Amino acid sequence: MSRYNFAYLDEQTKRMIRRAVLKAVAVPGYQVPFGSREMPLSYGWGTGGVQVTASVIGPTDVLKVIDQGADDTTNAVSIRKFFERTTGVATTTRTEAATLIQTRHRIPETPLRVGQIVVFQVPIPEPLRWLEPREAETRKMHALEEYGVMYVRLYEDITRHGRVAQTYEYPVIVDGRYLMRPSPIPKFDNPKLDRSPALMLFGAGREKRIYAVPPWTSVKSLDFDDHPFEIEHWDRPCALCGATSVFLDELIVDDKGGRLFICSDTDFCSRRRAASDPIPGR
Amino acid sequence: MSGAALDVRNLAKSFTLHVQGGVRLPVLTGVSLSVHPGECVVLSDPSGAGKSTLLRSIYGNYLAQSGQSLVRHRERMVDMVGAAPRLVLDVRRHTLGYVSQFLRVIPRVPTDQVVATPLRAQGVEASEALARARAMLERLRIPERLWTLSPVTFSGGEQQRVNVARVFVAEYPILLLDEPTASLDSASRLAVVELIREARRRGAAVLGIVHDAQVRAEVATRVRTLADTEAA
Amino acid sequence: MNATVDDRPLLSVRGLGKHYGGRMGCRDVGFDLWSGEVLGIVGESGSGKTTVLNCLSGRVAADAGQVGYTKADGSVVDMRRLDESARRRLLRTEWGVVHQHARDGLRMGVTAGANVGERLMALGARHYGRVRGRALDWLARVEIAESRIDDLPETFSGGMLQRLQIARNLVTEPRLVLMDEPTGGLDVSVQARLLDLLRGLVDDLGLSAVIVTHDLAVARLLANRLLVMRGGEVVESGLTDQVLDDPQHPYAQLLVSSVLQP
């Protein structure tokens, strides 16, 4: 049986992707085109994120993979197994133990630290695509910093709903220059991007774009002076661990409309429970 | 001529009708005349001699081929022949008023605003311009109920009076009048005659075409034909 | 209203030319435009008048000539030599372009209010209430009912679309507006209303404009001066009333005599 190259991709491809990553880090928020490869998973399932991870992962890395905040969903498990098989690196569910975190649609609740890299899976990288279908035109708009149109989108929301209705993939300005689409993370997570000690990398496989937010970079969510940016709030804590000020998922538990609100970040929740319950192994 | 407000020298104007085989009609062949402040010079040639053409050429509405048409504008003598369009517009705005035989109307503008427009062009503030316009309309016996209507439905005589009002309200230093009292009843004619006299009294120079002998007698300080020459 | 005679023209065009392969779009077109003036460019189809307008705005790259524009800060730039970013910014701030088909100049997928407010937001306006207030203000000026501010332009009539396009362009108080057949394709009563509006705005705001039209009545109503074009060249120029009442060039005479009077 043939063996895979380290992290599945050949060295030339990894080098090409690293160059794109370096360019992205040098121009925060700018979408760098790259030669996206066919991966053993379909478009829409994280091929961009997997390619970025495969290009930056090394033998001493400790990898965590989450999907909507959970380590144990099908996708997270599959991707983690993929890397275990092709690299042999150690994996973990604990955020603070990881050096490399690949994520779909969430940033962990546990604060990140210097030296960590977060790789985001991105479906549509272009924040202006909703208005302008032409790639040539959106590139020009970014080059000329013509972002008035994004405020039109916010204006329309406020007109229609009385407030900005965008609750995920909320557009941001990176380093005071580029308009960026931060992947479909809830707007709740946007503040975590601002001046984070970690390196944030974004990979879109189908659209063939990579972008980055280097550590300590300013990331500001778009808003109006009289309609400032606000994150979500829940009126109750997590039903399992009692945490407040974290992103909660809503679970329907029976046929009578019963529902539970629990932490979306499974690692964060389980360790809080472990800390409050002294019996080990629970 | 020194002191003249309007000094026309050897003005020549012909029409070449390309659409009709290039036939050339020489209408003015060297007209010279001058009008001083306070004068009212009336042209007495018969119809078709080119009197209206002369007025239009002085106003810049027609293009003269040669000669000069000097007007005193902002303390200088400006030659309207060959003048840049911008200069002609400035002269028309501040110095030269022209009452034509026909009123060209924009269908939806109220009469009082039509009359106020030249004042607005001179920088007069809107409400004052309207007030002065209405006063002038009243003088020319246009009833108040017509002030908010467009002149497009007015009779010939009413339109003529609006035309006169529009020019006299702006108190131009030089006036070109083409049959200002044609189609007016005697009371309105009287009002126009008084306006012309007032203009002369404030120092305006008037060049007019008047067929009616009685009106001519009441306004003209000098009567001449196109062909007349003047003593130097 | 402008009561003094400015020295420097707002727009100074010399030798403007554009070829389409072997076909000439326009050649050696030149004129000056001062603040507060409206220049009409008239001619029949294929005369090159729209080409001139497109060369002025840079929508089409001219092959020859200069387009000198005096900016609000007093500096003079050649629009042809301006870099893309500066040109686009100028077109959003000091210039306005009103297209013949309103759809080309509007975003049909966003509300009327957003259409009018967009340039303000592009220039840094960040207060929703104030942007909306300015939009309401301008909709009133172009005689669109306030209640339509949140409607999509798809629901507007042709005349309303054109008025919305005008509002969208004038909200930044541009110094120069280029208009291509602003009343084209509209019913006569709608045309009339639009022309009155344009005339009023030009007078009230002291707008300078270059208006391309094939309709001499529109030219007489709106323009102080005219250029008559034929086969890509200017055959006659002068005061509007002089060109229309005493045309000199054979083609200009033909054009004027061809107009039907109802």
Instruction: Give the pLDDT score at C201.
Output: 87
Inter-chain CB proximity C1 and B88 less than 8 Å: no
Which of A147, A152, A225 is opposite residue C127, by nearest beta carbon? Answer: A225
Give the nearest partner residue to C129 out of A140, A149, A226, using CB atoms.
A226
Q: What are phi and psi of C224, to 5 degrees?
A: -80, -35
Average pLDDT over residues C26-51: 93
Position B102 scores a pLDDT of 79
From the list A29, A48, A69, A203, the catalytic residue is A29
C123 touches chain A (CB under 8 A): yes
Give yes or no: A238 in active site.
Answer: yes
Does C121 contact A152 at a Cβ distance shorter than 8 Å?
Answer: yes
Closest residue in C to A160 (Cα) is: C150
Assigned token pair, A43? 């478009």
Q: Which of A46, A48, A49, A241 is catalytic?
A: A241
User: Of all residues in chain A, what percent carry a pLDDT higher than 70?
Assistant: 98
Higher pLDDT among residues B228 and C239, named by residue: C239
Reading the block at residue A216, the tokens are: 């300590």
Any contact of C with B, at least 3 CB pairs below 8 A? yes
Nearest to C218 by CA among C246, C245, C240, C239: C240
Residue A204 distance to chain C (closest CA, Å): 27
Flag whether pLDDT at A117 surpasses 70. Answer: yes
- Using the beta-carbon criterion (under 8 Å), do C121 and A144 form an inter-chain contact? no
**Which of A62-71, A97-106, B39-48 has the lowest average pLDDT?**
B39-48
Confidence label for C60 from pLDDT (cuts 50, 70 and 90):
very high
A269 labelled catalytic: yes
What number is the average pLDDT over the span A83-105? Answer: 96
Residue of B129, B15, B132, B121 whose CA lies nearest to B64: B15
Nearest-CA distance C83 → chain B (Å): 32
- Looking at the complex, report in whole angstroms how far the Cα of residue C221 sits from the nearest Cα belonging to chain B: 8
Question: Distance between CA C222 and CA C201 in Å, rounded?
Answer: 11
Is C129 in CB contact (< 8 Å) with chain A?
yes
Residue A155 has pLDDT above 50, yes or no: yes
Residue C45, chain B, CB below 8 Å: the answer is no
Q: CB–CB of B63 and C224 under 8 A? A: no
What is the least distance, in Å, from the CA of A228 to any CA of chain C? 10
Residues of A in contact with C87 (CB under 8 A): none
Chain B positions with Cβ closer than 8 Å to C: 15-19, 56, 60-63, 85-90, 93, 106-109, 120-123
Give the distance from residue C128's alpha carbon to the nearest chain A alpha carbon, in angstroms. 6
Please, are residues B228 and B33 in contact by the beta-carbon 8 Å criterion?
yes
pLDDT at position A105 over 70: yes
- Other C-beta atoms lying within 10 Å of the C-beta of residue B129: 23
What does the pLDDT average to over A154-159? Answer: 95
Per-residue confidence (pLDDT) for residue C261, from 0 to 100: 64
* Longest pairwise C-alpha distance within chain B: 52
C107:A152 CB<8 A: yes
Question: Is residue A145 within 8 Å of residue A177, measured between CB atoms?
Answer: yes
Contact C62, C232 (CB under 8 A): no
Q: How confident is the model at residue B89, as a pLDDT?
A: 94
What token pair was written down for C30?
Answer: 């030149």
Can you give the pLDDT at residue A278?
A: 58
Pick from C172, C154, C196, C174: nearest CA to C182: C196
Tens of each residue's pLDDT in chain B, 232 residues: 468 999 999 999 999 999 888 899 999 999 999 999 999 999 999 888 899 999 999 999 999 999 999 999 999 999 999 999 989 999 999 999 999 987 777 778 899 999 999 999 999 999 999 999 999 999 999 999 999 999 988 998 999 999 999 999 999 999 999 999 988 999 999 999 999 999 999 999 999 999 999 999 999 999 999 988 765 4
Asked if residues C213 and C221 have their Cβ atoms less than 8 Å apart, the reply is no
CA A249 to each of CA A123, A241, B34, C80: distance values in angstroms, whole numbers, following the listed order? 22, 13, 95, 57
**Mean pLDDT across C139-157:** 95
* Residue A159 sits at the chain C interface (C-beta within 8 Å): yes
CB atoms within 10 A of CB B150: 17
Q: How far is B211 from chain C (nearest CA, A)?
A: 24
State the pLDDT confidence band at A219, using cuts at 50, 70 and 90.
very high
Whether C15 shows a pLDDT value over 70: the answer reads yes
Whether the Cβ atoms of residue B186 and residue B208 lie closer than 8 Å to each other: no
Residue C139 Cα, gap to closest chain B Cα (Å): 21
The angle that helices B156-168 and B111-121 make with each other, rounded to 10 degrees, is 20
User: Are there at least 3 beta-carbon pairs closer than 8 Å between A and B?
Assistant: no
Nearest CA in chain A to C86: A144
Residue A282: pLDDT above 60?
A: no
Active-site annotation holder among A35, A44, A269, A281: A269
In this complex, the residue of A146, A147, A155 whose CB is nearest that of residue C114 is: A155
Q: Quick check: B57 and B68 in contact, CB under 8 A?
A: no
Question: Using CB atoms, which residue from A131, A155, A160 is nearest to C131?
Answer: A155
Asked if residue C2 has pLDDT above 80, the reply is: no
CB contact under 8 A, C117 and A147: no
Q: What is the pLDDT of residue C6?
A: 55
User: Is the confidence at residue A260, as pLDDT, over 80?
Assistant: yes
For CA atoms C129, C130, C131, C137, give the dihedral sign. positive
Interchain CB contacts (distance < 8 Å): A and C: 57
CB within 8 Å of chain A, chain C residues 67-106: 84-85, 88-89
- How confident is the model at residue A279, as a pLDDT? 60
Catalytic site residue from A46, A48, A49, A263 = A263
Q: Which chains touch A (3 or more CB pairs under 8 A)?
A: C
pLDDT of residue C186: 86
Measure the CA dihedral C71/C75/C78/C83, to 10°: -80
The answer to whether C113 contacts A159, with C-beta atoms less than 8 Å apart, is yes
In angstroms, how far is CA B176 from the centroid of its own chain? Answer: 3
Long-range contacts: C55-60, Cβ < 8 Å, 24+? C55/C16, C55/C18, C55/C25, C55/C26, C56/C11, C56/C13, C56/C16, C56/C178, C56/C210, C57/C91, C57/C95, C57/C97, C57/C178, C58/C82, C58/C87, C58/C91, C59/C97, C60/C18, C60/C25
CA gap A142, A146 in Å, rounded:
6
Transcribe B39-100 into DSSP letters: -EEEE-PPTTSSHHHHHHHHHTSS--SEEEEEEEETTEEEE-TT--HHHHHHHHHHTEEEE-
Match 């309303």 to its residue by tokens.
C160
d(CA A201, CA A213): 7
CA distance A177 to A173: 6
